Amino acid sequence: MRRKKLITRNDTEATFELDLAPMLALMVTLIPIMLLATSFVKVRVIGTVLPQAVQEAIQQDKQKLSKTITIDLQMNKDDFKIIVKEDEKEILQKMVPPTDGKWDYDALHSALYDVKKQFPDKYTVNLYPAQSVPYSEVVHAIDAAREAKKTEDTFSVFDKEKQKNIQTRIMFPEVSFSGLIGG
């Protein structure tokens, strides 16, 4: 009986109110700082951040003494022309006609994808844009050449370190603006 009385005397509420005011003060300070520091539009560069094996393959492609195959991409007023040369002799030519009077980037991507399938060791495209082509369109053309789409097949690259083939979507990450000298 006495024990029961003791328990009743110390019986406090099982729940309690959290004091959220300091946390709220912290958040009110933190949110404006983060809003100021956060950039929703980020500046990136068109470069080559590639897996090791793919980078090695590109280096091999660059250093190859018997470098005979070149892929040229001419960007005209509203269409594209892909020319593949072997020892300066034209072996393949593809035209990408305009759609609704504009450059057709999907068709360009498909054409370059087919070229990549034929020449999987090549990673460089020589780009020849016409003087009147806007810069944004040149960037779109580079984007179309860079990677295969997720729905498309990947390409095999031999990884010397692991002694096995690895799969990559990378098509032509190296774009060289050609025709600067003597053009």
Tokens of 102: 């504009």
Q: Taking the CB of residue 7, how many other CB atoms lie within 10 A of it?
A: 8
Instruction: Name the minimum Å distance from CB 163 to another protein.
Output: 29
Confirm if 78 and 94 have CB atoms less than 8 A apart: no
Between residues 25 and 95, which has the closer beta carbon with respect to another protein?
25
Instruction: Name the minimum Å distance from CB 9 to another protein.
Output: 25
If you compute the radius of gyration of the chain from its CA atoms, what whole number of angstroms results? 30
Instruction: Name the minimum Å distance from CB 38 to another protein.
Output: 5
From CA 57, how far away is CA 121, in angstroms rounded? Answer: 7
Between residues 10 and 38, which has the closer beta carbon with respect to another protein?
38
Between residues 2 and 42, which has the closer beta carbon with respect to another protein?
42
Return residues touching another protein (CB under 8 A): 17, 20-21, 23-24, 27-28, 30-31, 34-35, 37-49, 129-136, 138-140, 142-143, 146-147, 177, 179-181
Which residue type does 93 have? Q
Between residues 5 and 16, which has the closer beta carbon with respect to another protein?
16
Q: β-strands 174-177, 124-129: how paired?
A: parallel
